[in-house]
Amino acid sequence: MAETTKIARNSGVAVWRQIADEIRREIKHGHFKRGEKLPPEMTLAARFGVNRHTVRSAIAALTQEGVLRAEQGRGTFIANAKRLTYPISKRTRMSTSLAEQITQQERVILSHRIEKPSAEVAHALQLSDENAQVHYFETLSIADGQPVSMSDSWFDQQRFPQFDEFYKASGSVTKALKQSGVEDYFRKSTLISAQHANGQDLLHLKLTPGAIVLTAQSVNVDTNGVPVEYSATRFAADRMEFSIESMSLNEE
Amino acid sequence: MAETTKIARNSGVAVWRQIADEIRREIKHGHFKRGEKLPPEMTLAARFGVNRHTVRSAIAALTQEGVLRAEQGRGTFIANAKRLTYPISKRTRMSTSLAEQITQQERVILSHRIEKPSAEVAHALQLSDENAQVHYFETLSIADGQPVSMSDSWFDQQRFPQFDEFYKASGSVTKALKQSGVEDYFRKSTLISAQHANGQDLLHLKLTPGAIVLTAQSVNVDTNGVPVEYSATRFAADRMEFSIESMSLNEE
DNA sequence: TTAAATTTGTCCGTATGTATC
DNA sequence: TGATACATACGGACAAATTTA
């Protein structure tokens, strides 16, 4: 309650930054529990003896760091930290890889359409036919009620004409591919990058502006080495990390 | 010059967001070259018919996305995009993996000390001795004059007592390990995550607040499977991506 | 069910500081 | 040294979302 914290004016360090540092320190030292509400902006402004906007700058910085999460009308909350681990291995299956870490998971197909592949997709799926068509799916993965990833995936429509029916019926890529005649498949290559969340990500993954998404672009192939799926999945970076066990990785 | 762009007030979309979207669009459509200076805030404010602070909000959002880069006293510049690809494979060597993509590279040892391993480091290096000591190195990697990664790495000091001398002399982990009796070594596991850059990152990697770092924590083992190096490397996410070729990855 | 209060979000305006040219 | 341009901080007003009475 008391204005115990000293804010140094004209010290070379911006006031908003000092406030952010202090709030971060207090969270770290357990003054707040995860999920708990931070005092309102006006209260903090009074406590630190600054304008509300200065507090807002500090909160904005901490939000961006992933330390806080603000919700209009409700308040500002202490974000929780722990990440799920997603193993990237030859036989990674979305549905089984997280099973041990969570109690409940769900996959929602947001949209599906048949389209002409972009150059990127055609190259990944090795489609040389001028008239090639692909199934395009946009899916959302939810673990324990919280969205963790959004995925764009493409499948050869000529080779798998009924794939969409199978996929929609079973909700499983593995099952749909099996019904389409692909007994088994493997992850061939994965490209990992990170960028800021875009509008779509913010909406579906329930992120705040400034949040980070970890992107994995992967090509899955059948037992003959022919690509069957190309996908680009965007994970909420504060909820997920990737692990690669490479004792039998390629030499090169 | 003319105020051609329409800003819709009370449209449900914040004005600063509309301006950010418009500037992003113009950059994407080539209205500006990479490295070129954006018009001053006041000019943009006049063009869009808004207050300077509203333009600042838009610029802040784009800075955070990595689209722009503001420098006090100089101006705001269009950031450049293209990423280097870092292959994560069983025999990845920092010094050789990027050789084809860049013309010049350098590695600087920022600091070295002998310390007691943290629980995390002891576990990774499988050091059970109570009195274990490790070499700790902080290094900076530079490609074509631009910093790309910062690394913390640890080596068993008891097993490799002269490692620091060898490393400092050769500047190569591979050579220093060889001189220490390790003929060959392999990447055993890698953990990848992404977070916002901290103060150290901002300084050494020359990033702006809000920038993203891609983190790879990896354990390297000798031919007997005994850990020889544990490292945590932070890459500037806008300059690097990871690739994993997994035709011979683990089954599990 | 409604209305008021609370809390965060947006936008404007002004003043001053700091860094660069 | 002065002009330019970004950074910080203050103040006020209203909007939007949620919770409380």
pLDDT band at A4 (very low <50, low <70, confident <90, very high): low
Q: Is B199 exposed, middle or buried (0-12, 13-18, 19+ CB in 10 A)?
A: exposed
Nucleotides of D under 7 A from a protein CB: 4-12, 15-19
Under an 8 A CB cutoff, do A209 and B61 touch?
yes
Residue A92 and residue A200: Cα distance in Å, rounded? 26
Under an 8 A CB cutoff, do A237 and B195 touch?
yes
Cβ proximity of A209 and B152 under 8 Å = no
For B205-223, what is each residue's pLDDT tens digit? 877 767 789 999 999 999 9
Q: Which nucleotide is nearest to A48 (CA to C1')?
A: D9
**pLDDT average, residue stretch A15-21:** 91
If you average pLDDT over every residue of chain A, what do you get?
87
Q: Is B54 helix (H, G, I), strand (E, B) or coil?
A: helix
For A188-201, what is each residue's pLDDT tens digit? 999 999 988 876 78
pLDDT for the residue numbered A91: 76
**pLDDT average, residue stretch A16-44:** 89
Q: How far is C-alpha A160 from the chain's CA centre?
A: 28
Domains assigned to chain B: 15-78 (1.10.10.10), 84-243 (3.40.1410.10)
Interface contact B250, partner A, CB < 8 A: yes
> What does DSSP assign to residue B104?
-
> Of the candidates A16, A18, A7, which has an alpha carbon nearest to the alpha carbon of residue A57?
A16
For A205-237, what is each residue's pLDDT tens digit? 877 767 789 999 999 999 999 999 999 999 989
CA distance B245 to chain A (A): 4
By C-alpha to C1' distance, D18 is nearest to A73
Using alpha carbons, list the distances in angstroms from residue B160 to B139, B211, B222, B245: 19, 36, 13, 32
Cβ proximity of B246 and A192 under 8 Å = no
Under an 8 A CB cutoff, do A251 and B210 touch?
no
Top pLDDT among B192 and B62 is at B192
Find the Cα–Cα–Cα–Cα dihedral A16, A65, B21, B5, rounded to 10°: 0
For B118-172, what is each residue's pLDDT tens digit? 989 999 999 988 899 999 999 999 887 778 899 999 999 999 999 999 999 998 9
Nearest CB to A241 within list B65, B192, B209: B192
Nearest CB to B189 within list A190, A210, A244: A244
What is the reported pTM?
Answer: 0.77
- Assess whether pLDDT exceeds 80 at residue B2: no
For A90-103, what is each residue's pLDDT tens digit? 777 766 666 667 66
